[in-house]
Amino acid sequence: MSAAVITYGGTLLLTSSESFLLTLSGKENEMVHQLMHSMGRASASAQVLTGIGALALGILALVGIAPTIMILVALLATGTSMLLRSSFASGLLMDLLRL
Amino acid sequence: MSVETLTQAQFHEHARQWETTTLKTEVLLACGAVVLSILGLAGILPNDLAAITVIALGVVLGCQGTNVVLRYTELLYEAGATPNPRAMEVGRGITAEFLGGLAGVVLGDLGAVTNCANDTDVSSRDHLWRDAPIDE
């Protein structure tokens, strides 16, 4: 299980640039482009931090320091990161914020 | 047997439907994973719920990979672009997502099976202990 957590942390680190690269490919005006650029950078940074945290917690669980708690906390962080990264959830959040 | 050819519009409609399905699946599974990990942290079957959460997050990663493939294919089609370094970068990420998801699902399955085996082992030992004569 701790190996799976380490795998997820590594995957989050490796795929952190995806959303950033995909937001760069639009053809908007300068203001929207800058806004999307900064949002993409923020989301990529958050994903990198979550990935590093999951890696650290997975290694601690592998070493044997409260493994169940470490694994569950890492899974909670990873799940939250994936949930917030999903464009469906972010669209819902944007709608809520607009209201 | 007749072979139907898809027009570009039909292909894009199909891709859009797949994208919506993967997005909804992704959100549902991620919500489930968050809830299950909180329940596990609260002390309700922590090992079993951790294994189920690992499997769910693996599927979420697979869905995200599919979603990125669909979106990036659409963007490339609209741009009429040839492969470039940025495409290579996203392709590597997609591969990492698929591989990470697959590894997570396999490891989660193994964890669940190990938990079940441990539970069965403990319960069978308890059963043997209960059936053993008292004077032994």
State the CB neighbour count (10 A cutoff) for residue B91.
14
As a whole number of angstroms, the distance between CA B12 and CA A17 comes to 25
Annotate A76-97 with three-state secondary structure.
Answer: HHHHHHHHHHCHHHHHHHHHHH
The conformational region for residue B83 under phi > 0 = left, psi -120 to 50 = alpha, else beta, is beta
- Return the structure tokens found at A99: 């209201």
As a whole number of angstroms, the distance between CA B5 and CA B11 comes to 10
For residue B136, the model assigns a pLDDT of 45
Contact residues on chain B for A18, CB-CB shorter than 8 A: 68, 90, 93-94
The whole-angstrom distance between A48's CA and the closest CA on chain B is 13
Judge contact between A36 and A44, C-beta under 8 A: no
As a whole number of angstroms, the distance between CA B25 and CA B29 comes to 6
Task: Kindly report, residue by residue over B22-61, the tens digit of the pLDDT.
Answer: 888 888 898 999 999 999 999 888 888 999 999 999 999 8
The whole-angstrom distance between A68's CA and the closest CA on chain B is 7
- Domain of A85 in residue numbering reads as 2-98
Provide the number of structural domains found in chain A.
1
Positive or negative, the CA dihedral B22, B25, B31, B35 is negative
The verdict on a CB contact (< 8 Å) between B58 and A5 is: no
The whole-angstrom distance between B1's CA and the closest CA on chain A is 39
The verdict on a CB contact (< 8 Å) between A76 and B97 is: no
The answer to whether the pTM exceeds 0.80 is no
- In 3D, which of A3, A50, A79 has the Cα closest to residue B106? A3
The verdict on a CB contact (< 8 Å) between B68 and A22 is: yes
For residue B70, the model assigns a pLDDT of 76
Residue A55 pLDDT > 90: yes
For residue B72, the model assigns a pLDDT of 72
For residue A25, the model assigns a pLDDT of 57
Among B30, B40, B54, select the one facing A86 at the smallest CB separation: B30
For residue A77, the model assigns a pLDDT of 92
The verdict on a CB contact (< 8 Å) between B50 and A68 is: yes
As a whole number of angstroms, the distance between CA A14 and CA A17 comes to 7
Task: Kindly report, residue by residue over B80-135, the tens digit of the pLDDT.
Answer: 665 565 666 566 656 778 888 889 899 989 988 888 887 776 666 655 555 555 45
Residue A62 pLDDT > 60: yes
More confident residue, B49 or B69: B49
The verdict on a CB contact (< 8 Å) between B54 and A1 is: yes
For residue A74, the model assigns a pLDDT of 93
